Structure 1
Amino acid sequence: MSKTGLEQAPDDIKLAVDLIYLLESNKVAPETVLKALDIVRADFEKKAQDQNN
């Protein structure tokens, strides 16, 4: 059986779709999402940097 669509997508795309669905389902304001994503990005950039050191 061949995989199609999202099943075949890279993990980052799958995660993005899941996050968008979660945020939209909970009616989180776009401004709140963007501020939260800035925090999440900074946290994960630090974690990635720590792993490389």
Structure 2
Amino acid sequence: MSTPLEQAPTHVKLAVDLIMLLEEHDLPAEEVMAALEIVRSDFQKKLNNQQKT
């Protein structure tokens, strides 16, 4: 029998994994949000470059 997470889309599974990783390190929320903004910006640039080709 599978769990709902096993049936979830890949991006949801990734989000859950990232949340667990960040919570394990007990980091301040402000630091996490600042880091996630950098990650989001980097991946947005990658996505934009992929769409241009």
Q: Distance in 1 between matches of 2:4 and 2:36?
A: 26
Identical aligned pairs, as a percentage? 54
How much does 1:3 deviate?
A: 3.2
How much is the aligned-residue C-alpha RMSD, in angstroms? 1.0
TM-score of the two chains, using structure 1 as the length reference? 0.90
Task: Give the equivalent residue in structure 2 for 1:52.
Answer: 51
Whether 1:4 and 2:3 are equivalent positions in the alignment is yes
Task: Give the equivalent residue in structure 2 for 1:19.
Answer: 18
Q: Which runs of 4+ in 1 moved over 6 A?
A: none
Structure 2, gaps ≥5 residues long = none
Q: Distance in 2 between matches of 1:38 and 1:4?
A: 30
Structure 1, gaps ≥5 residues long = none
Task: Give the equivalent residue in structure 2 for 1:36.
Answer: 35
